[in-house]
Structure 1
């Protein structure tokens, strides 16, 4: 009985030391993975702090820091997160961060108010009216520019998506893995889709699963076709469907949608050029064709 007790105690001590050893090995590894993912988020500027308290960490002058804090107080609670999402949609241009956008909103508030007041300085009422309008325009101008940049980038992504899927399909059917195919796209192509593929590959290399990286990609886009592709890939990964088969079907469907979109734009063209023709082209044609005749008739009846 004592031998059995001694064996159980020895086994318990071995298990305890094993758990301690695994925690010592996996703890730093998990921390390194988390730190790596955090570095990717910081590199792409997708941090979404709830306030601008950390604005000094991005090298902003003190005045802009205070203006950013003022803009954050004047904005609703969810505005920093919304700005972070729009930055992701715009591809995080340059070194823009949520703090910088808020700082420029505050700067635009005072600059617009000063410019409006200067324009309306001839009248006391006009000073307040133009000053208020200028402050509103300056405050919302960074949001408009950011939204415009995001819309343009998403349009480019929609245009590049069929070619990207074709290249993914060719690489996977040639024997490459999905990660290697993403690497080939990032190495041999340019544009927003290549940048998104590189970012997704970096996230997977630093510890994220393929499903998590795909869902993060879907959160960074508003392109319906790309979100549908991500959904199909996630379902294929969870159900064990071969990746090459899913890519082949998705690429074929994407080509069909791209062709339908081109046909739709072609059908809209006559309606779009109708009003320019009526108000710009037809009057000029009438003047050129009927002008000499009208002048001859006026000269005849006037004489």
Structure 2
């Protein structure tokens, strides 16, 4: 039993370390890039082969073995589906093996240490985290799309081509949507067809608004319709959808507030209003 407890603690510790590495990966990447840029052009003395880090020596191989075992046990879970979710979440530097391995580690560690219910929670935790990242990124893309379409339409109507308009867009805006446009623009520059690059962008983002925009651009390209007009219409439609979604959320708000009101506010209000009356009644009956 003690060995199982030690193994469970080690598994949970490894999962915590892994998620900490995952969360701090962008910051470390930026720091490394800044360091490389600062040392660019300087002579370096080669002192021999560098020792690989602990993660490369032990953690990554262990997570890979766990991921392969999970894929064999659960054929419905595939690396391709996890990879698609990672792309939709904007976590392009994270390997699908990492997420699958974390699911297995948390499943075993939570089951041994805390019981069957926590084993299920451990299995679902990476997926819940990943789905949350996907939803937040899709919401960010939908929020940024109308302004981006306005800028694209103005640039196209001013005489720029679509590629040049996208370049202007990436220079003046930031965010998840702009990252997708930058990737698509890079693919076009290395020889990818515009339609294929836009389709890949739509698949990566997994956003309905982005899919509608890409379909409109491809149809305009095929039929020879003015891109400026299409972009302006798309911007108006996207704003209208966002307004309708906000109104829908506002209409759902009273229903969502009902349970907290009944559970927390009404008891306190009844206590304040009826408390003195009950005290007076208790004094009356005591006499």
Aligned to 2:229, what secondary structure does the other structure show? helix
Judged with a 3 Å threshold, the aligned counterparts in structure 2 of structure 1 residues 280 and 243 are, in CA distance, closer, same or farther, namely: same
TM-score (norm 1): 0.68
CA offsets 1:209-229 (integer angstroms, 9 cap, x no match): 111111112212332222111
Answer yes or no: is 1:107 the counterpart of 2:105. Answer: yes
Q: 2:268 and 2:117 mapped to 1: Cα distance?
A: 39
Judged with a 3 Å threshold, the aligned counterparts in structure 2 of structure 1 residues 286 and 110 are, in CA distance, closer, same or farther, namely: closer
Aligned Cα root-mean-square deviation (Å):
2.4
Task: Confirm or deny: 8 A CA contact 2:180 2:205 kept in the other structure.
Answer: no
CA offsets 1:186-211 (integer angstroms, 9 cap, x no match): 22222211111111111111111111
Q: 1:274 and 1:105 mapped to 2: Cα distance?
A: 35
Offset at 1:77? Answer: 6.0
Judged with a 3 Å threshold, the aligned counterparts in structure 2 of structure 1 residues 62 and 204 are, in CA distance, closer, same or farther, namely: same
Q: 2:186 and 2:145 mapped to 1: Cα distance?
A: 20
TM-score (norm 2): 0.72
Q: 2:77 and 2:108 mapped to 1: Cα distance?
A: 23
Task: Confirm or deny: 8 A CA contact 1:162 1:258 kept in the other structure.
Answer: no
Q: 1:178 and 1:159 mapped to 2: Cα distance?
A: 21
RCO higher in 1 or 2 (8 Å CA, sep ≥ 6)?
Answer: 2
Q: 2:274 and 2:120 mapped to 1: Cα distance?
A: 50
Offset at 1:75? Answer: 2.8
Offset at 1:260? Answer: 1.4
Query: What's 2:145 paired with?
Result: 161
Task: Confirm or deny: 8 A CA contact 1:169 1:247 kept in the other structure.
Answer: yes
Query: What's 2:157 paired with?
Result: 173
Query: What's 2:259 paired with?
Result: 275
Q: 1:226 and 1:114 mapped to 2: Cα distance?
A: 44
Q: 1:248 and 1:213 mapped to 2: Cα distance?
A: 21
Answer yes or no: is 1:152 the counterpart of 2:136. Answer: yes
CA offsets 1:118-166 (integer angstroms, 9 cap, x no match): xxxxxxxxxxxx3x55555444433332222212211222222222222
Answer yes or no: is 1:65 the counterpart of 2:49. Answer: no
Q: Give matches, 1:88-237, under 5 Å.
A: 88-93=87-92, 95-116=93-114, 130=115, 135-237=119-221
Judged with a 3 Å threshold, the aligned counterparts in structure 2 of structure 1 residues 293 and 248 are, in CA distance, closer, same or farther, namely: same
Q: 2:100 and 2:233 mapped to 1: Cα distance?
A: 44
